[in-house]
Structure formats: C-alpha cells, structure tokens
Structure 1
Amino acid sequence: MPRAAKAAGDKPAPKKRKGIYQMPDPLPLGEELTDFQKKKWALGPSVGKGGFGEIYLASEVKEGKPQENPSHVIKIEPQENGPLFCELHFYQRAAKPDIIKSWKKKQKLKHLGVPSYIAAGLHDHKNKRYRFLVMDRFGEDLWNLFLKSGKKFSPKAAFTIGIQMVDALEYVHDQGYVHADIKGSNILLGFEPKAKDQVFLVDFGLASKYMPGDVHREYKPDPKKAHEGTLEYTSIGAHEGISSSRRHDFEILGYNLVQWMSGDLPWSKVTKETEVQAIKVKHSKDRNSFLQLSFKEQTYPTELRDYFNYVDKIAYEEKPNYSKIKALFKKGIVSSGEKFDGKLQFDTQKKENIKAINTPRKSPRKTPVKPAKNTKKLAKRNSDSSETAETPAKKRTKRKMQTEDSSSDARSPSPQRKKVKGREESTTPRSSKRVSERNDDVKSPKKRTPVGRNPEKKPISRAAGGKAKTNQRNPGSKKVKTLASATIATQTSPGLKGLRRTRKKAGK
C-alpha cells in the first residue's frame, strides 16, 4: 500500500531492493471493472503508486450508478507482475471475512489489523490485461505520521502499534504465512473516525508460506534470494537468502520500533546491501551498544533490550511467545509514565505550521533591551535618568515653586542661606533680582500688566507690589525695602537709565 504524496524535502520511504516491475497505464476516471463474482466497480481518482502498480479509489456500482463517498480502493498491476498475485493468494486463502471473525472471537479481540478479502478480478484496457484487488479504504500510513511527528513516536504510541502488530502477526503465522516486509508505509490507520486508534498491516506482496505441507522450510542460505525485502528493516536471515520464518518477522518489527522511538537506525544512510548486513550482524552480538548508538544521548526503554534478547534466542522453526511479547510492550508503556488504554497519540504538526511558528512575527512593539552586564550600574543610570527626566508640567510647577521661594526669601527679616542643587546660595538683593527677572521672562505676557492690578485675579507677589505690608511686618529691614523697590523698577522701567535712577532713590 503506497503512502500519500510526500512533501518536498521529506525522506522517502525505504524501498524494496528486489524486483523491477512494469507499471500499468493510467486508467480513466469512472471506468468500470468487473470482479470474479460479477460485481462492478467504478474507479475514482488515483491515490498513490506502489513498486508494482497503482491504487485508485473505488465504489461499487449498484443500479447502474456508483456509490457516493468511495469506501474501497482497488490495486491494479499488469498481469505478468508477481507481487499482487502473491498478495491475492494470501487474501483468498487466509483473509476471508468469516475466518477473521472466527479468530477474533477465539482470541477475544475487538480489533485485528489484517484486512479482509473483498473481491478481485482481471481487466482489459488498450490491449493489455491487468490484475486487480478490491480492498477496504484505509487512512494515513505510519511513515507519513512519523515524518509529521518530527521523526519520533512516543514510547506509548510505538508500543501500542507494536501490540496490534503482534496480534496481526500471530494471525498471519497461524494461517501458515509470514509477512516479511513490515514497515511504516505498510501500516495504515483506519479510515472511519471510530478506527482512529486502529492500525492495519497491508501489502502482502512478499508474504510466503513458511510451512508448506505442514513441514517447516529448511534453514538453508540461497544467494539468489539474498537481501530480499526492504533493506533498512530486513532480517539478517533474509540478507543470507534464508527463507523467512516467524522469528524474522519479529526481528523486522524490532528495527521499526527502534526507529520510531529513536528517530533513526545506525545503518539508515548505508546503501550497499553487504555493508548493511555486516552492521546488523555486528549489533546482533551486543544489543546494548546497538540501542545506545540508535538513541544516542537519549535513554532507551529497557523493554526494547529485553525484546531483542528474547527474539535473538528464538529458534528458526520455533513458535514465538506472542503473549510474552505483548506483556513486554505493555510494561514499556507503563514504564514511560503512560497508561495502557489502546489510544494512539501522535505529536503531528505540518511543516508549514512549524515554519510559521519559527518565523519571527512582525510587531510594532519595541525590541526588548538586552540585560546589561553590570546591573548595579544600569540601576543607577536608570535612577539618574528618572530624576532628570521631567515633563513640561513638572517644569512649570518647579518654576512656580522657585518663584514663590524667592518671594518668601524676599520677605524674610534677614538674608538666609538655602541649598540649591547641592550648594548653598545667599539670599541677597542681587540674587533675588536675578530670580525675579527670570520669572518675569517666563510669565511675560504680550502686554505688561501695571503694578497693583490683577485682571486675571491671580495672587500678587508681596515682593512685587506689597511694599507697605512688607514694611509693617519688618519695619527695620532696609534690605527688604531695597529689594521691593528694585523689583518694581525692573517691572516698570525697561531702560538702563530708569533702572539706575531707581537704584539711586532706593539708596537714599
């Protein structure tokens, strides 16, 4: 069963190394095929291609019309090709609906990940004959989900899939067959929403009988059959050309489990068949080093080590202990901190969404300031800047307060010293005059207001126009009189000569 179209840059699914087959010509949409039971099937769009044929959506034709929402698929290959013939042979003899139903009842299983046989036939198109197989429609394959999950499955997801695969393999083995090509692209999710936690083992193109005539095949290497299967996962025995046995299926499943949980296999980038074989043989002698190399800095589940140690000890003709293997996988789920509930949880995220998350957003906000190396200096600098930074309103308030302070100093009975910005300043007639002139510049209107009048009803400064009152409070203070007279002179006499006359009079 082929995978869906892969995104650009994705690693393609591992391919079989054996067999070069002729591909069928494309068939038109809506073409009708008649199976061996005389049922008609209308082809929908193509959903993928395998190594030997093409797969189309299909609907059964009833009353001359195909059904809506296709619930089946049809695999088609040229008649002279062999894989679909082997697969068809398995389905017709070992996957009939009544046999599967009886097995599920016997084993007390709610789900068995082996598709049921539906129909098959031959079809002629443009002077070519094709063989086809009708199957149930399934969902996405595990290889696509593996890529979408960042090439990593959680131990719970991987072991849950493993448990369902053990049930499927036990059924296949009980029918006298071995699968010999277990991999993510050949394991599909259920199509219906209620089957989202179910997986199905498909593509029995390499399936074969390990006990023809009730006698197990002989353990005998055959160079003509060497390296048969998918190079990345095939068993060591298959590399030697030995006929596949039940033990080999579990060795293949183990390599898949390691890849799903660790992300890769030590020989994944090796393309030469004999080199891959040598690496597998080397690691079969030390499973700890194999798992450490696969998981790198990660901690690998000890249940995987126990699994391989058990599989390595299974004899070529021996029947595996399926219950023991499932118990190991359940233990692995619990050891990972999860609960065994049969749920499949994939941390999938499409690449375009990942790209959007990693791309910086354009925002009007300012870039955050990097933390300074010396936080004490930064805090001091911030405190100084906060003290010096003043708003226009604060500046006006400060000037007003300075004006009132200077006026109160002018009313004081004797010169006093006050602190201004860290230094002492004497309250003398000259300094008071300077303050008065500065205040006058700030508040100066376009038209000067005569002394003693207050059209805006603002309080008049005693230093500016309160000469009599000042003398009443301080009758003996000449400096106050001088200050008041000088202030009046500066407001009423803008000329230099007028200022000098005023000062002479004030001196008298």
Structure 2
Amino acid sequence: MNMLQTAETGFSQLIRMVVKDNMGELYQSYAGEDLASLDLFQSGSHESKVEMLRMAKQMLNSLEHIHGLGYTHGDIKYDNICRLEIKPKTDEQKATQQYSLIDFDLATNYHDAKELDYFTGNTYFSSRAGIRLQKLLPKDDIEQLLNLVCYQLNDFSLPWFQDIETQTSNDIFRSRRKNDTEFFSQMCKQLPTNIANCFRYLDNLKGDIQ
C-alpha cells in the first residue's frame, strides 16, 4: 500500500484498503485498459513494437519505485499493465499515454523472500530464477519485463513457446525447467546485441544487488 501512496506516476491512485477475514482488498482509481485487451498490442505491427518500448521505459521507472521500497512485483504480464490516455491541456499539445502497473497479489519483500516449494506467477514471462523456484530479487522483475518486450518484438514468440493459445502453463514450466540453459542461449542469439547484453548482465547479478 505504501508504494501506491508515495508514487507519483506508474500506478493508479490508492482510494482505500479493506481488510476482512485476514484478506485485504485494494481499491484504486481507473488505470485504463490492460494491454491484453488492446488491439494495438495484439497486432504485431511496427507501431505496436515502438509503443511496447515506450511502455517498458515507463515500467522501469515504476519498478525502480517498488524496488526502492524493498519489494518485487513478481508477475509482469500484459494483463497487469494498463494504458490510460491523458488528454492534452491545450489544443497545441498531443495526448500522452500513461502506463500503470496493477495487481500486487504476488508482491514480496525481497529482503525476507525465501525459496519456494511451488511456482507462483506466470510461466510465459517468468524470470529464470522464478522457474527454478528461487527467491525473486529486483532483477527478476526487470527480466520479466524484458521477456514481455522480447515476445512482442519477436512477433509473439519466445524460445520456450510459440503459441500462447495451445501450450499450457504446465507444459511451458516443465520445458523451461528442463531446457533452461539452452533457452537462455537461444534468447540471446535472437535479440539485438544491446538487449542480449541486458539479459546476460541480469543473469550475472548475485545476491540483493538492485
């Protein structure tokens, strides 16, 4: 809740929080439509790829805020990022797109995080550490975001799946566990050098380094 109260952008505004029977519910202001429901991000067009990169830049700022408070989001995917068009104040200005991160069910204090006995999150864009059931660090959120961006840039394909409609989450989880090193190598070969270097850099980070 603190991350929503202190953030200036990248999150919809916190309206109230209700706790009942040890379960909490957050009520936030309207953040727009999630990327999964927007035709632009399902088209594979050049415009969609350019807009995806703009989104990623805003999301990095949001993740920096979360990580600065000691938390990881843990579930970066199309459904958890919303886009809201901000109307210009004058006729001379253009409308801008504001991207917000939602759904903090899996947010975890990474200083207290432990390895898991079961998988949480989504297998499609999870980091390698997530697939290995290791505790998630700030770098894993960034890796998830990069996986999402690369999926869009590679025409809806990643080394571990080519058809999100037919390959089940369990199938992908087992495949990624079995072929982790091979898939990582394939990913780096398919990407522009600068993005591939980001993956390698994140993979080499150890401990609680942000």
User: TM-score, normalised to structure 1's length?
Assistant: 0.35
How far does the alpha carbon of each residue in 1:195-231 deviate from its partner, in whole angstroms, 9 at most, with x for none?
Answer: 741100111111000014xxxx46xx44x23x32111
Partner residue in 2 for 1:28 = none
- Which is bigger in relative contact order (C-alpha 8 A, separation at least 6)? 2
Partner residue in 2 for 1:244 = 136
Give the counterpart letter for 2:203 in structure 1.
Answer: D
Partner residue in 2 for 1:309 = 200
CA distance in 2, matches of 1:148, 1:313: 31
CA distance in 2, matches of 1:288, 1:129: 44
Q: Give unmatched runs, 5+ long, in structure 2.
A: 89-94
CA distance in 2, matches of 1:242, 1:129: 27
1:284 Cα deviation from its structure 2 partner = 1.7
Q: Is the 8 A contact 2:12 2:31 kept in 1?
A: no
RMSD: 2.7
Q: Is the 8 A contact 1:113 1:167 kept in 2?
A: yes
Partner residue in 2 for 1:190 = 84
Asked whether 1:210 is paired with 2:117, we answer no
How far does the alpha carbon of each residue in 1:80-109 deviate from its partner, in whole angstroms, 9 at most, with x for none?
Answer: xxxxxxxxxxx2x3321xx224xxxxxxxx
Partner residue in 2 for 1:284 = 184
Q: Give unmatched runs, 5+ long, in structure 1.
A: 1-90, 102-111, 292-299, 320-508
Asked whether 1:169 is paired with 2:78, we answer no
Asked whether 1:274 is paired with 2:171, we answer no
How far does the alpha carbon of each residue in 1:230-277 deviate from its partner, in whole angstroms, 9 at most, with x for none?
Answer: 110111211222111111111111110111112222323443221133
Give the counterpart letter for 1:141 in structure 2.
Answer: D
Q: How does 1:74-113 map to 2 (within 5 A)?
A: 91=1, 93-96=2-5, 99-101=6-8, 112-113=9-10
1:131 Cα deviation from its structure 2 partner = 5.5
Match of 1:198, SS state, is strand
CA distance in 2, matches of 1:160, 1:146: 17
In structure 2, the CA distance between the partners of 1:130 and 1:182, relative to structure 1 (3 Å rule), is closer
1:147 Cα deviation from its structure 2 partner = 6.1
Q: How does 1:101-180 map to 2 (within 5 A)?
A: 101=8, 112-121=9-18, 132-145=25-38, 149-152=42-45, 154=47, 155-180=49-74
User: TM-score, normalised to structure 2's length?
Assistant: 0.79
In structure 2, the CA distance between the partners of 1:156 and 1:167, relative to structure 1 (3 Å rule), is same
Partner residue in 1 for 2:92 = none
Alignment: residue pair count: 195
In structure 2, the CA distance between the partners of 1:248 and 1:130, relative to structure 1 (3 Å rule), is closer
Give the counterpart letter for 1:150 in structure 2.
Answer: S
The percentage of aligned residue pairs carrying the same residue is 23
Partner residue in 2 for 1:230 = 122
Displacement over 3 Å in runs of 4+: 128-132, 146-149, 151-155, 285-289
Q: Is the 8 A contact 2:86 2:97 kept in 1?
A: no
Q: Is the 8 A contact 2:87 2:96 kept in 1?
A: yes
How far does the alpha carbon of each residue in 1:168-202 deviate from its partner, in whole angstroms, 9 at most, with x for none?
Answer: 00000001100010111110012543574110011
Q: Is the 8 A contact 1:239 1:277 kept in 2?
A: yes
Match of 1:114, SS state, is coil
In structure 2, the CA distance between the partners of 1:183 and 1:164, relative to structure 1 (3 Å rule), is same
CA distance in 2, matches of 1:153, 1:143: 17
Match of 1:158, SS state, is helix
